[in-house]
Amino acid sequence: MGIIITPQHEIEAYFNTDAISQSRLKTLKDGLEGLLKDQEKSEKDLFYSEKESFIKGSGVDMQLTGNPEDFNNAHYVSVIEDKPSDTEMSIMHRTLALVVENYDIVEEGFKPLAMYPGSLTQAVIDENWHGGNPGDKRMATLVSKCTPYFDDLCKAHGKQILTTEEKNTIDAVTMSFKTNSLTKDYFDREAQQRAVSVDVYYQLPIYFEHEGHECKALLDMLIVYKDDANNITSVQPIDLKTMAGSTITFPRNVKMWRYDIQAAWYTLAVSKWLEEKETVGFAVIMPFMFLVESVHTQGNPLKFIVDEELLNMGKSGRPALMVNANTVTDDFDTTELHTIHFKEVKGYEQMFDEYIYYQEYGTAQDRKITESRGVFRLNWNGIM
């Protein structure tokens, strides 16, 4: 088959499904509060928001793992140098939504921002900008500052707006991945198309059942190796990561964003995918791999292969630990015994169990409170 690229409409359908994903489970890494914040929008949430890191990362993903036309179909490159603030962007998106709702755009076309004072005023009220009553001077400044962005919104027709700097960064990261000797083979589609015994899946959605519940995973890449009889012999799951700073510091991001859980969950998904394929014999799942490049300083992409120990941490976690250790006193004459505490680290198994618990019993109270009846032992490090 060579290269298999999932169409964008199937990827959109993936994100619209309610199946359990690793990103949803990770909201429970610090308890119920994280899940509630993810499920319920605060009154302070903006109508529209964007994260620059996500925009750049998804843009790189689309250029490297999508069809050639996908990126241009999803992005509009603006000539503005700087976007407005988060709140101002949200006001502009809300204003445009009101304009589309209240005016015959097909017949009249879009007009400059100043021509929609009613919609803009309502958007300001809805966003509670300066209490919903910013005054004439602030409104005039808002119109002046945001008119170029609003014009781009009208021209973009729902596409993601990129500044020239954002587009240049996406292009530079993409080029680094495609040309560096360490990573270029993963994106050489001409060579992949010629390969007889290798299939490369880009943006592969996997739907599977885990402990009786519908789950999902979206792999950036899955390389499938086959024998002469077209039987799958091994598979290589891969995820692309972009980051700020030097790529050698990626291990810190793994702990911060719990990429170990992603690696373990995706490995589980691939095992389910292989079961559905009814592979003849034994198909090996090769160690999960991250391909990483920096959005700040390109040219040094690195390949990180997930060790079995890290994969187990992402799956099963680690219980709270207490370790006794001797420390030397100031006079170096005697030693004192101290207890070092390590907090519990949850894997997807614990998070999955908690998620199902809250689905069954509701989220009115943290599971720990219910099971302990509100009584906890407390030490310097917190709840024991």
φ/ψ bin of 207: left (φ > 0), alpha (ψ from -120 to 50), beta (otherwise): beta
CA distance 304 to 352: 26
DSSP character at residue 373: T
Model pLDDT, residue 47: 81
DSSP structure string for 120-153: HHHHHHHHTGGGG---HHHHHHHHHHHHHHHHHH
Which helix (H) or strand (E) element contains residue 223?
strand 213-226
Partnered with residue 340 across adjacent β-strands are 323
Model pLDDT, residue 43: 43
User: Tokens in use for 322?
Assistant: 């207490």
Angle at Cα 340 formed by Cα 367 and Cα 350, nearest 5°?
30
pLDDT (tens, 9 = 90+) of the chain, 384 residues, equals: 689 999 999 999 999 999 999 999 999 988 888 888 877 654 446 788 888 889 999 999 999 999 999 999 999 999 999 999 999 999 999 999 999 999 988 788 999 999 999 999 999 999 999 999 999 999 999 999 999 999 999 999 999 999 999 999 999 999 999 999 999 999 999 999 998 899 999 999 999 999 999 999 999 999 999 998 889 999 999 999 999 999 999 999 999 999 999 999 999 999 999 999 876 568 999 999 999 999 999 999 999 999 999 999 999 999 877 777 776 666 656 667 777 777 889 999 999 999 999 999 999 899 988 988 999 888 777 777
Which helix (H) or strand (E) element contains residue 194?
helix 189-194
198 in Cβ contact with 226 (< 8 Å): yes
Residue 72 CB partners (closer than 8 Å, separation 6+): none
Model pLDDT, residue 42: 44
- Give all domains of the chain, ordered by start, each with its CATH number: 174-316 (3.90.320.10), 321-383 (no CATH)
Q: Is 19 helix (H, G, I), strand (E, B) or coil?
A: coil
Could you give the C-alpha distances from 146 to 17, 149, 219, in angstroms and in order? 35, 5, 38
- Residue written as tokens 């519940």? 213
Measured in whole angstroms, the distance separating CA 21 from the mean position of its chain's CA atoms is: 11
Give the residue among 354, 319, 324, 373 at the shortest CA–CA distance from 24: 354
